[in-house]
Structure 1
Amino acid sequence: MAQEQAGRVLRSVKWRADLTAGVLATWPADPRKRTSQEWEQVRTAIPGGEGLPSSVIKGRTRQAVTFLNANGRLPVDVFELEGAPRVPRMLLLAACDRQQATIERGDTDPGRVMLRLQLPTRVDPHAYGDWTWVACPISLPPMVPVSAVLHLPTLRVTGRQVRADVAYTHTVPKAKRTGHTVAVGVDWGLNTLLSAGALRLQADGRITALGAGGQFRAAGVLAKQHRLRRLSERLHAKADHYQRLTAGDQQHDLAGKHAVLSDEIQHVSARRANLNDALAWAAARWAVDQAIAAAATVIYVEDLGSMEAKGMGRSLNTRLSQQVRGKIVDRMRHLAAEVGVAVVTVPCTRPERGRVHFPVRRCEPTTSDRPHL
């Protein structure tokens, strides 16, 4: 389990190291605005940079600019630019065999499973006798099919609780690549988070709209999200000010206040993360329900790979950058795969009248054969 977790951290470090090396090797004349030739150079220098969102490259460039302003030179590599990675407290039971952990459904109640794993009875186990089997009953939500094959979970420590991320595999309808006649197009907005409309491709090639479409509005949730963001910004500003005043001295009179602020920042960050996850699941569920109601076999979503929050004012740019659109697309793929609906991200063209055209004749579905709970 430790080797698997270390391997994941190392793969992440390798990707960030290649990204940082490519940005530093092709440092632009003006870091705030690259020319088209400089964009081509930096994408060529990064492995897989052709499909990398420009916001990722810009974020790494801003990180290097901050280091340049503070030290008067560019960083050498990612290890000088970033601190030590934080490893989450979790047990990856999927990396084990049956000698370490097993999971089975109950005979009488299929909604309950029994997870059995070996845990040490002492801090420094030396022999097999220092380990013992522990039984952990887990209740599954009703959305998990009875015929699903369960896989060993990942155990996470959240506060004073241990949560299990259980992966399962079950048979779902296969999404079609071609031959779609009914599609749902989904577009993004700021106050109206999602707008969707169903279209039908007629036999003569004409495309007709099915109804007036719908909108997913989450004004209350988004307002709360912005309030938490502003609160987090104020807390970070206070914590940074206390950090400068204490200069790392744990005996300083303000060290206690800095510790309290740090705990509050973590609490607010957890609230923001939970709110974003709930919003992403709700929006994805709404979009997939629109496709089910319209008997559509494909959902077209606007590609967000090149989307950047700029040119709309400081407040509006911040609100756009805080949206959870990437999470919504991932959740949408997950939910659509269970009903055999293909999800396609397409580059959208916006003519003068502001209409959005979706290519209904072609699609490349993205499905998941192993959804996660």
Structure 2
Amino acid sequence: MDPRSYRDWTWVACPISLPPTVPASAVLHLPTLRVTGGKVRADVAYTHPVPKAKHAGHEVALGVDWGLNTLLTAGTLRLQQDGRITALGAGGQFRAAGVLAKQHRLRRQSERLHAKADHYQRLIGGDQQHDLAGKHALLRDEIQHVSARRTNLNDALAWSAARWTVDQAIAAGASVIYLEDLRSMEARGMGATMNTRLSQQVRGKIADRIRHLAAEHGIAVVTVPARNTSKHCPHCLTPLQHRKAPDKPTVAGWKWAICPNQPSCGWQGDRDHGAWRRIAARGLTHQNKTITDKTTGAMVIRAVVDTLEAAAVVTPTTTKISRTDRSKTGPTPRKPARPAPRRRRAPSPTRPHGRAGKRPEGHAPTDRKLPRAAHRHQNVTTTSTPTTGHQPRGATLGAGFHLHAHATPPRWETIPETYSDTGSLS
């Protein structure tokens, strides 16, 4: 068509179906049309009011700790009216070992392609008619393709981790998310292998995505200093003793933390779970020190005050249980013979035979209550963060993203903590 005047134009109505993520009260703006793959797509921007996040006055906070094998470990604390801080549940973990393995595979592939392209460039020199000029151009296209795959993988990982974190806060009713300061996680001076693993975690992208998603629900995101969050006990601030996990004695590392303050405290657990408790407790006690960074606009707590840090302890929500030593000291006594099962005292009533038949005689009645052991509460046993349980073989071969990202679902019920006088299990 070649329109020459206003009469040659006509109005066209294009119905657009909005996704359910767009709220009903949103104000739509003028769309932008673009042609992609032979189809016309519309980019529609919208705005909607959201509650303003506040700096202080928080009672329920979500603490988030960064990790290597476990990307995120998070849990919720509550600040009581009397100043005590208690834990709500046992926390959760976001593990992405398979995604990180795929990311590592793409990084190594990119490094090999760059080395090969540099070698071709040295052989070609300035001769554009060289026989290797065509291969060099193909390598450049392959490098761009691998770089795009790495970028898409990083974006998918960042959005998935951020969505999981915000969902944890919404499920627990938290009004603030306390993140560990990223400046303490800079990848330098820790060896080539550790520096590479730290740099591949895309923590900056995850933090930005968390702020974006949390702003829609009026949840504040504050960074706190990470000093001694994994070193001190979350219940008494005593320096912890780190050792191998009791359920994985053959795995290298020091993932298990034990408080030496016996018997008054004696807390033990995964060091990442102790870290998120320390981060959330530090944020709740220092929330009046929250400021807005003028450069980035993010909320931060810059320094730790010793007087406030002394109150950043988590009070146990359950009483300490003292268990007696049940170690075997002699032969096991013989148990009496099992008594005969109870039989029906009266024969079954006479009924006409139907398709379902009738119950045979001699069975115990089914209307009695189950024994007490069937209703007894089974306590939760704390285990360490899995480090080698997931074998990312599919990721190293190029499998998808969602097959290798494992996250704890939001907890809607609180799980009481358990304590023991038995000390270390290792």
Indicate whether 1:168 and 2:46 are aligned.
Answer: yes
- AA of the residue aligned to 1:233: E
Measured on the aligned residues, the alpha-carbon RMSD in Å equals 3.3
Offset of 1:177 from its aligned partner?
Answer: 2.5
- AA of the residue aligned to 2:104: H
Higher Rg of the two aligned structures: 2
Aligned partner of 2:106 in structure 1 is: 228
Q: Distance in 2 between matches of 1:269 and 1:161?
A: 26
Map Cα deviations across residues 254-290 of structure 1 (whole Å, 9 max, x no partner). 0111111111111111111111111111100100011
Q: Which SS does the other structure have where 1:281 is aligned?
A: helix
Map Cα deviations across residues 319-366 of structure 1 (whole Å, 9 max, x no partner). 211221111111111111111211111222214437434321414587
Q: Distance in 2 between matches of 1:266 and 1:159?
A: 20
Cα separation, partners in 2 of 1:229 and 1:202, compared to 1, 3 Å: same
Aligned partner of 1:219 in structure 2 is: 97
Q: Distance in 2 between matches of 1:215 and 1:331?
A: 18
Of residues 155, 170, 182, the one that matches 1:277 is 155
Indicate whether 1:340 and 2:340 are aligned.
Answer: no
Of residues 335, 354, 359, the one that matches 2:283 is 359
Contact 2:100 2:200 in 1 (8 A): no
Q: State the number of aligned residues.
A: 244
Contact 1:183 1:299 in 2 (8 A): yes
Q: Which SS does the other structure have where 1:277 is aligned?
A: helix
Instruction: Please say which of residues 196-205 and 141-150 is displaced more in the overlay.
Output: 141-150
Cα separation, partners in 2 of 1:291 and 1:142, compared to 1, 3 Å: same
Cα separation, partners in 2 of 1:156 and 1:280, compared to 1, 3 Å: farther
Cα separation, partners in 2 of 1:335 and 1:264, compared to 1, 3 Å: same
Cα separation, partners in 2 of 1:296 and 1:169, compared to 1, 3 Å: same
Q: Distance in 1 between matches of 2:198 and 2:149?
A: 19
Q: Which SS does the other structure have where 1:232 is aligned?
A: helix
Contact 1:342 1:367 in 2 (8 A): no
Instruction: Please say which of residues 345-354 and 237-246 is displaced more in the overlay.
Output: 345-354
Q: Distance in 1 between matches of 2:41 and 2:203?
A: 26
Q: Distance in 1 between matches of 2:218 and 2:144?
A: 39
Contact 1:225 1:272 in 2 (8 A): yes
Which has more strand, going by share of residues? 1
Contact 1:309 1:318 in 2 (8 A): yes
Contact 1:334 1:367 in 2 (8 A): no
What does 1:70-89 align with in structure 2 at a 5 Å threshold? none
Q: Distance in 1 between matches of 2:40 and 2:110?
A: 27
Structure 1, gaps ≥5 residues long? 1-120, 122-126, 369-373
TM-score, normalising length from structure 1? Answer: 0.58
Offset of 1:133 from its aligned partner?
Answer: 9.5
Q: Distance in 1 between matches of 2:36 and 2:204?
A: 24
In percent, how many aligned pairs have the same letter?
75
Which has more helix, going by share of residues? 1
Aligned partner of 2:309 in structure 1 is: none
Q: Which SS does the other structure have where 2:283 is aligned?
A: coil
Structure 2, gaps ≥5 residues long? 232-238, 241-270, 300-426
Offset of 1:208 from its aligned partner?
Answer: 1.0
Q: Which SS does the other structure have where 2:196 is aligned?
A: helix
Cα separation, partners in 2 of 1:133 and 1:213, compared to 1, 3 Å: farther
Indicate whether 1:251 and 2:129 are aligned.
Answer: yes
Aligned partner of 1:193 in structure 2 is: 71
Q: Distance in 2 between matches of 1:133 and 1:255?
A: 52
Instruction: Please say which of residues 314-323 and 146-155 is displaced more in the overlay.
Output: 146-155
Q: Distance in 1 between matches of 2:42 and 2:192?
A: 40
What does 1:1-373 align with in structure 2 at a 5 Å threshold? 140-152=18-30, 166-350=44-228, 351=231, 352-353=239-240, 355=275, 356-357=278-279, 358-361=282-285, 362=287, 363-364=290-291
Map Cα deviations across residues 181-207 of structure 1 (whole Å, 9 max, x no partner). 100000100110001010011111111
Q: Distance in 1 between matches of 2:11 and 2:131?
A: 46
Q: Distance in 2 between matches of 1:165 and 1:248?
A: 45
Structure scoring higher RCO (CA < 8 A, sep ≥ 6) equals 2
